[in-house]
Amino acid sequence: MERLQKVLAQAGVASRRKCEEMIAAGKVQVNDETVTELGFKVDPAVDSIKVNGRPIAKEQHVYILLNKPKGVITSATDPGGRKTVLDYLHGVKERVYPVGRLDYDTEGLLLLTNDGEWAYMLTHPKHHVPKTYHATVKGMPHGSVLEKLASGVKLKDGMTAPAEVDYVDVDPEKKSSVISITIHEGRNRQVRRMFEAVGYPLERLKRVRFGSITLDGLKRGKFRNLSKEEVTELRRLAEKSHNVQNTD
C-alpha cells in the first residue's frame, strides 16, 4: 500500500506537490469514490485510480537532459504562442514536465521527467541539490562583491544561503566577466536577483550543472536521455544532502 499522491506522481500525472493539490480539490477517484485525504493509501495493482474520471496510465519513466536555449518558456504550453521546452523534445512520446524552472531569458541545463517522485526529491528545499550557473556581467566585480554573494545576500524573501562563487573568465576588451555561482536553493529568479542586489545586473545566465549532471557534449536546443547510472546518482545525491541536513 502506498500514499495516493505518490502513486499519481509515479504514474506521471504531475509532480507530487501538484498531485496533492489535485486530491485536495476532489479531482481524484479511487474505486469510483472521490478521495480528498492526502494520507489515503492505495494498492496500484488492485485499486482503480482516476483523475477527473480518467484512469491513470502507468508510463515507463523517462529522464531527459535538455540544453535549453534563451527565449524559450519552461512550460508545456504558452497562451502567447511562444516556444516551450517541449517543442524541442522531438520523438518523446511520454508526457514529461520540467524539474524546476529556468526563466525565459536563462539558458542551459534543464531536466525533464514523468517520474514525479524523482522530480520532487530534486526540487524540494529540504534536499539542497547544488546547481551551478555561469553569470555574465559588465565590469569586473571586486573580490568583496564575490564574497558577499558567497556569504549571503539579503533579498525581499530573506537572506540567501551560502553559495560557491568564483571567476570563470574576464574579457578586458568587452569589459565583462563570467562568474560561476553554485546555489543550493531554488527561489524564483534567485541568481538574477542576487547579482542585482550587489549592483551587477546580468547580461547572460546559463545553468551548466545540476547535481552531478553537466552539459558536456550537448549542443544548444538538443536533448538526450539520462543513463540509469545518472538517474541513480542524482537520487543518491538528493538523499545524501537530506540526511546531512537532518544531522546538522
Residue 248 annotated to the active site: no
| Secondary structure, 3-state, 193-214 | HHHHHCCCCEEEEEEEEECCEE
Q: Which is nearest to 89 in space by CA: 74, 107, 104? A: 74
- Selecting among 43, 47, 87, 103, the annotated active-site residue is 103
Amino acid at 100: G
Cα 121 from Cα 202, distance rounded (Å): 29
Considering only CA atoms, which of 38, 33, 103, 95 is closest in space to residue 64?
95
Run of H or E residues at 246: helix 228-247
Q: N- to C-terminal Cα distance for the chain?
A: 32
3-state secondary structure of 176: strand
What whole-number distance in Å separates Cα of residue 6 and Cα of residue 42? 10
In angstroms, rounded to a whole number, what is the distance separating the alpha carbons of residues 170 and 70?
22
Whether 136 contacts 177, CB under 8 Å: yes
Beta pairing, strands 176-183 & 164-171 = antiparallel
In angstroms, rounded to a whole number, what is the distance separating the alpha carbons of residues 134 and 221?
18
* Catalytic positions, written as ranges: 103
